[in-house]
Amino acid sequence: MNPPWWHRPVRFILERKLCNLPAPLCRSCSNPIPVPTTLTDDLWDALVLCPHCGAGCSLLALGNRSDETALPPPTTALPPDSTISADSSPASNHWNIPARKRINFILVFGTIWLLFTSIFLWAFLADKSDSNTPGWVLGIFISVFVAIGLGMFFAGLRMAFISYDLTIANGHFTYSQHLFGGSKHITVSLNSIQSVELTEFYQQNYRPVHGIEIRSSEGKIRFGSQLSVPEKQVLTAQLKAALLPQTLPPITPATAPASPSTHQLSPSTPPAFAIPLAPDGVLRIESQGRWHPALIIAGLFILAVTSFMLSQGLRMLFNTVAPDSPSPPGAFRFLSSAFMIFWCAGPLLGVLISSTLLFLAWKLRFSHQLIEISRSSITRTKSSRSSSSSESWDLRELRQTIVVPISASNNSPSYRGEIILNSSVLPFGWNRPKPELDAFAAAANQFIPPTHSPPHGE
């Protein structure tokens, strides 16, 4: 559901970026795949086929392999310099993770940011001159940057001084945070715990930073990004052994958490729940248009900041070129005017970008897609407030339907499904629950013609 009017500029940016990236690895056989240097209007939905095993996926799915960065081999014991303490008894298990109390990048960056913004805040409070701009407008503008600095500074302090206690007792797991005398406790029953994994929390200098994630039907617990890699690995193994003992019934492939390197569902894999066919024997999935909060928030914030900067720049430009300007005429006034025009170009570009983001959010709100798979064809229908279009493919073009991660929001991965055809990719199910996507993929794979087997390795 990419608006046609933005294909050319986005394609220009993507093609330049692809030229500077190393060859990505195949999701099935892990061999390098040559990426096309010239994209079609499908952009990141363009089909990429592996020349080694024949597996296919979209360019977007191929590029989202940051969560699969290999960690060093795990060790069996905590490193000698580790400050983590563990106590075990027949009735309970307890781990204490003390505060690191070390300077970190976020704390340093937040401190520098606060120092710079404090200078501007001091200049604003000390300024007694008359100005055409209301004081409260400048105050709000500067306070936004001060709030950002305070947020980063507090995040750095939290990372440096927070400590944890993990306790398993009486059939429950208790997670406790301690920071500056305050505490926060989360308790879940052991029967509700579904997985204990080491997952990527964020990236720093283009390198993933992993942490420990405990998922349960009662909530999700994430911690430990500040620990060293050996500490994370050993603690994850110990928690997994204690919270998910081997005496429990084995988890079936349909309900087991997918490993980082496995994002595809073979036709023989049973789904977690079945997707029923319509009475006419057609499999359907519809993607309704929706608001995208990230686009709206980013667009409004950039629009507010750049509009203010542009208004101030235009005001100074008009004061410079006005006939009654105090600036001396001649070359000096010309250079001042040229500089102000150049300075206004940046905020004007920001206004255009933010307006584009808001328009895109509005456009996506009313963009709908319906995919129908029958015994003879695959049909995709796109509709918006003013238009509707439909495309059909012969069922013999169906290679496989897969589920892939596409992004991470609030430290949680988002998934979508992809119907792989011989010449294109049909994405569906943005931000739907992964079990639902897995079930639809399994149902769609049942439509693969017997004469067309899935690519090797899938």
Tell me which of 335 and 421 has the higher pLDDT.
Answer: 421
Rounded mean pLDDT of 39-57?
A: 75
Rounded mean pLDDT of 32-48?
A: 71
pTM: 0.49
- Residue 11: pLDDT band (50, 70, 90) is low
pLDDT at 271: 40
pLDDT at 277: 65
- Judged against a pLDDT cut of 60, whether residue 410 lies above it is answered with no
Share of the chain above pLDDT 90, in %: 1
Per residue in 141-166, pLDDT (tens digit) is: 677 778 888 888 888 888 888 888 99
Which of these, 195, 233, 231, lies nearest to 213 by C-alpha position?
Answer: 195
pLDDT at 248: 38
pLDDT at 251: 38
Which residue has tokens 């011989």? Answer: 422
User: If you average pLDDT over each of 1-15, 41-55, 197-211, 394-408, which comes out highest?
Assistant: 394-408
- Judged against a pLDDT cut of 50, whether residue 198 lies above it is answered with yes
- Judged against a pLDDT cut of 80, whether residue 117 lies above it is answered with no
- Judged against a pLDDT cut of 70, whether residue 175 lies above it is answered with yes
> Which tokens belong to 150?
């305070």
Per residue in 304-359, pLDDT (tens digit) is: 888 888 887 788 777 776 766 665 566 666 676 777 787 788 888 889 989 988 98
- Residue 211: pLDDT band (50, 70, 90) is confident
Rounded mean pLDDT of 75-84?
A: 76
- Judged against a pLDDT cut of 60, whether residue 260 lies above it is answered with no
- Judged against a pLDDT cut of 80, whether residue 209 lies above it is answered with no
- Residue 422: pLDDT band (50, 70, 90) is confident
Least confident of 137-146, 273-282, 362-371: 273-282
What's the mean pLDDT when you consider all of the chain? 75
pLDDT at 247: 44
pLDDT at 111: 85
